């Protein structure tokens, strides 16, 4: 780990309050957490470390699908300093959820719920914490005085939105599959969460979606570590950054607006070759976008970049025209932490209700409104600094790992 992550882990050890002394907590996670690599995997790691430092006696069950995860388990045990007060158990099941060919997810395998309940009920915890749907579903037979489920993006929302974007690409086969699979997930959430006294969502938009299913939930910002230098050397020409997992829903939602609306308008404003849009991240973009990007020299495709400091150092702003009203985008948090002004579709504030246009970001309902913000950022140094500072402040007050983890710890302690 870099010095940033070493220092962050040290701050957890020094500053997390001992709120769990004398209490037993079962923690179920659907992967092997890691401090730096991944999305939800990273979130789970810092939450697990916070619970560890809070003084609970913890049984940590990892729900895994592949024996390839075994080396990762050993490293995780080492990182969390496994001992009598923090015990890690791995349960393997290659395909824990049973699907129907035409009806999507149906039920979780009985062997999974049986194995999880066997370990948890023998441990007899005061508190049960489950990260995401699979963990909560697997714990349906587990007993505890207080049961908390933490949820990332909701599957039924994600499938539905992916169906919409498949339709836009005229990929009718995948559109039908996504639409068919969307609805059954709603029943899965109702079943899995029925015994939980507290449901925490990482996206503000999920509160209403779950309420429509008769499920009460509350939003909490999640921990998102960001290791950035504060020094910035701007490119000589206007430069936007577009990054994240390129095959994920957020990128699929944004890419059409980026290549078909924002890019032509920037070319009209600045002229060919007089601006740049850097694109980087894991995965691949849809073929229609890849073709347009290849034909226009203003786009610079960097693929996966190991050092975001370098990739973002010359950029004037991040562009995130994400229309899909799903999720609280970690790519936006990364930019906020970096002090890089965020220009995004207004729907991103549904997932992150702390985003306020003109205060800590720039939001627009369409390409023209988003670009008006960009032109203002380029022309008005004080506006640029105000947005950059506001974004950085939002990150530090809500999504800094220590702050966000303490919020969850307090919710558990006060149950």
Query: Which of 113, 213, 224 has the alpha carbon at shortest distance from 154?
Result: 213
> 239 φ, ψ to 5°?
-135, 125
- Count of CB atoms within 10 A of residue 272's CB? 10
pLDDT at 230: 62
| Residue 166 confidence class, pLDDT cut points 50, 70, 90 | confident
pLDDT bin (cut points 50, 70, 90) of residue 171 is confident
pLDDT confidence tier of residue 180, bands split at 50, 70 and 90: confident
What pLDDT, on a 0 to 100 scale, did the predictor assign at position 38? 84
| Helix 172-193 with 155-168: angle, nearest 10 deg | 170
Contacts with 178 (C-beta within 8 Å, 6 or more apart), sequence order: 159, 160, 162, 163, 166
Kindly indicate the confidence band of residue 247, based on its pLDDT and cuts at 50, 70 and 90.
Answer: confident
Q: What percent of the chain stands above pLDDT 70?
A: 98
pLDDT in tens, 16-35: 999 999 999 999 999 999 99
Q: Cα(223)–Cα(196) distance, rounded to whole angstroms? A: 22
Using alpha carbons, select from 258, 281, 259, 274 the residue that is nearest to residue 343: 258
Q: What is the pLDDT of residue 102?
A: 67
Burial class (CB in 10 A: 0-12, 13-18, 19+), 28: buried
Q: Which residues are within 8 A (CB) of 44 and not within 5 positions of it... i.e. 6 or more apart?
A: 29, 31, 33, 131
Q: In 3D, which of 237, 160, 169, 250 has the Cα closest to residue 203?
A: 250
Within 10 angstroms of residue 361's Cβ, the number of other Cβ atoms is: 27
Mean pLDDT rounded to a whole number for the chain? 93
Pick from 223, 172, 233: which is nearest to 202 by CA?
223
Residue 54 scores a pLDDT above 90? yes
pLDDT-above-90 percentage for the chain: 76
pLDDT of res. 276? 97
- Whether the per-residue pLDDT at 1 is higher than 70: the answer is no
pLDDT tens figures, 188-234: 999 999 999 999 999 999 999 999 999 999 999 999 999 876 667 78
Please tell me the distance from the alpha carbon of residue 71 to that of residue 61, in angstroms, as a whole number.
16
410 pLDDT more than 70:
yes
Structure tokens at 235: 């490119």
Measure the CA–CA gap between 345 and 322, rounded to whole angstroms.
Answer: 5
What are 391-400's pLDDT values in tens digits? 999 999 999 9
Nearest Cα to 213, choosing from 296, 151, 264? 151
Q: What is the pLDDT of residues 112-144, one digit of tens each?
A: 999 999 999 999 999 999 999 999 999 999 999
Task: For 75-113, write each residue's pLDDT tens digit.
Answer: 999 999 999 999 999 999 999 988 876 666 788 999 999
Q: Are 218 and 201 spatial neighbours (Cβ–Cβ below 8 Å)?
A: yes
Complete domains list, the chain, with CATH? 3-223+401-413 (3.40.50.2000), 239-399 (3.40.50.2000)
Judge whether 277 and 238 are in contact, CB under 8 Å.
no
| pLDDT band with cut points at 50, 70 and 90 for residue 265 | very high
Model confidence pLDDT, tens digit, residues 299-332: 999 998 888 888 888 899 999 999 998 889 999 9
pLDDT of residue 103: 65
Confidence of residue 181 (pLDDT cuts 50, 70, 90): confident
What are the tokens at 365?
A: 């309902």
């Amino acid at each position: 780990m870099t010095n940033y992550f070493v220092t962050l882990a040290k701050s957890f050890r020094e500053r997390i309050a001992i709120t769990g002394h004398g209490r037993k907590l079962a923690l179920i996670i659907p992967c092997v957490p890691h401090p730096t690599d991944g999305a939800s995997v990273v979130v789970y790691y810092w939450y697990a470390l916070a619970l560890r430092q809070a003084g609970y006696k913890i049984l940590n069950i990892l729900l895994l699908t592949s024996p390839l995860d075994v080396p990762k388990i050993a490293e995780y045990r080492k990182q969390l300093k496994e001992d009598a007060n923090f015990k890690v158990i791995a349960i393997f099941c290659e395909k824990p959820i049973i699907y129907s060919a035409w009806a999507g997810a149906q039920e979780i395998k009985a062997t999974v719920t049986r194995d999880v309940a066997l370990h948890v009920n023998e441990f007899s915890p005061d508190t049960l914490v489950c990260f995401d749907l699979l963990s909560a579903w697997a714990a349906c037979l587990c007993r505890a005085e207080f049961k908390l489920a933490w949820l990332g993006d909701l599957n039924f929302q994600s499938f539905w939105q992916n169906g919409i974007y498949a339709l836009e690409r005229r990929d009718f086969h995948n559109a039908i599959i996504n639409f068919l699979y969307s609805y059954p997930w709603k029943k899965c959430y109702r079943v899995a969460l029925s015994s939980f006294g507290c449901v925490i969502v990482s996206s503000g938009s999920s509160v209403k979606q779950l309420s429509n299913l008769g499920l009460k939930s509350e939003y909490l910002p999640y921990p998102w570590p960001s290791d950035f230098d504060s020094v910035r050397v701007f490119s000589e020409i206007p430069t936007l950054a577009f990054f994240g997992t390129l095959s994920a829903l957020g990128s699929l939602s944004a890419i059409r607006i980026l290549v078909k609306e924002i890019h032509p308008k920037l070319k009209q404003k600045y002229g060919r070759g007089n601006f740049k849009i850097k694109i980087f991240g894991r995965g691949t973009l849809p073929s229609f976008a890849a073709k347009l990007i290849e034909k226009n020299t203003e786009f610079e495709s960097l693929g996966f970049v190991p050092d975001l400091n370098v990739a973002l150092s010359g950029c004037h702003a991040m562009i995130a025209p994400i229309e899909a009203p799903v999720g609280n985008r970690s790519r936006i948090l990364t930019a906020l932490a970096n002090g890089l002004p965020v220009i995004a579709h207004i729907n991103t504030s549904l997932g992150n209700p702390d985003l306020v246009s003109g205060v800590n970001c720039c939001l627009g309902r369409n390409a023209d409104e988003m670009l008006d913000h960009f032109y203002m950022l380029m022309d008005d140094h004080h506006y640029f600094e105000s947005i950059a500072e506001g974004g950085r402040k939002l990150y530090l007050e809500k999504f800094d790992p220590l702050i966000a983890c303490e919020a969850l710890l307090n919710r558990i302690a006060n149950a």
